Structure 1
Amino acid sequence: MAGRQKSDLEAGAQIVSGNLGKTVQRLRKAYNLSLSELAEQSGVAKSIISQIERNETNPTLATIWRLSQALDVSIERVLASADDEPFVEKLSRADTPVLISEDGKVRLAAIGWIRTVEWLQWYDVTAEPGGTLESDAHQRGSLECLSLLAGEAEVEIGGLTETAKAGETLRYRCDRPHVIRATGAEPMRAVMVCIMKAAVMD
């Protein structure tokens, strides 16, 4: 183990807190990993990961290290516990996850914060003319907002279709299959925010 990694582990040992379980769970869900899949990738038993997420155990540093590697995040991030301290975080273009539609014409750059992914997601959307993004239903009660910055688009959901152009916003329930299409002659650019049910209603 490199010297810096070892020092990270030693420093991290002093700040493990109840936030650890929430952080591991948040990262696991952000990568759409089941407990079994994370166990396989990290070499940490599924039962141990489950106990960590429920804050029912104090994991060893070796266990935290294996989880951080499987989740592709620094051990400092996994161990961080001070939510109230000021910070500025910069994400490079290369580090920003990008999703591409099946037709290859729509790109969604995930610019939202990983810590909010369970209830709030937002994307920088670009699309070539004619590009189509088909999405499955999100959890019941969820909402999506598509704000057009350039070009034109239409949203189809539940038998309804509505169009928008630059400066306009489409807001719709996204808890059923829905389709976004770039309908104009020019490329489309938009910001899309998905508000999950947990943040909308009970």
Structure 2
Amino acid sequence: MDITTHLAARLKQLRQSGGLSLTQAAELTGVSKAMLGQIERNESSPTVATLWKIATGFNVPLSEFLVTPTPAPRPVYDPQSNGMTITPLFPYDAQLRFDHFAITLAPGAQSDSTPHEAGVIEHVVVISGALDMQIDGVWQTLAAGEGVRFAGDCPHSYRNAQQTPTQFHSLIHYPAKA
């Protein structure tokens, strides 16, 4: 099963297991009913920002959508429009409550993230290039080897102002469920 087919099936499964209509899922996630329907029918590949909204709304880790039950050696999610490629390094671990991703941001690309679930902590470490990060309205630039830890439940953005791709890792800790 390829990643987009898995993503479509997983979204539909989560929605139906919660007994939600597309309208209710749209209210829960902040993603339009039309877009959710297109994703479920595998007619549209959502941006990473949209996937985060869906994962946050359904209160599941992002890797729920990125890691197939029988994963390829390195599953990669690369929505065509925003220049961000995500490769799960370690899919969600229920005991430790984290995801670990390798991310490449194309030259000139920017990805804006809506706040994640309350209590989410994100660690970002730049592997190569430079990464501009906006965390809760404040921009900072990280060079290769530098990192930042921040509350993922505030608005944040990733931007590559360089002429070459920027590679970084994102380790995301999810809060314990009550």
SS, match of residue 176 in structure 2: helix
Consecutive unaligned residues in structure 2, runs of 5 or more: 1-6, 20-66
1:195–1:181: structure 2 CA closer, same or farther, 3 Å change rule?
same
1:122 match:
100
Consecutive unaligned residues in structure 1, runs of 5 or more: 1-27, 40-70, 75-89
Q: Which has the higher strand share?
A: 2
Give the TM-score of the pair, scaled to structure 2.
Answer: 0.57
Structure 1 outlier segments of 4+, above 6 Å:
none
| 1:1-202 correspondence to structure 2 within 5 Å | 31-32=10-11, 33-34=13-14, 36=16, 73=69, 91-93=72-74, 96-100=75-79, 102-103=81-82, 105-116=83-94, 119-198=97-176
SS, match of residue 126 in structure 2: strand
Counterpart Cα distance in 1 of 2:14 and 2:88: 21
Give the TM-score of the pair, scaled to structure 1.
Answer: 0.51
1:72–1:166: structure 2 CA closer, same or farther, 3 Å change rule?
closer
Structure 1 position 38, deviation (Å): 8.4
SS, match of residue 111 in structure 1: strand
Structure 1 position 123, deviation (Å): 0.8
1:165–1:37: structure 2 CA closer, same or farther, 3 Å change rule?
same
SS, match of residue 149 in structure 1: strand
Structure whose alpha-carbon radius of gyration is higher: 1
1:48 match:
none
Calculate the aligned-residue CA RMSD, in Å. 3.5
Number of paired residues? 124
Question: What residue identity is the alignment partner of 1:181?
Answer: R
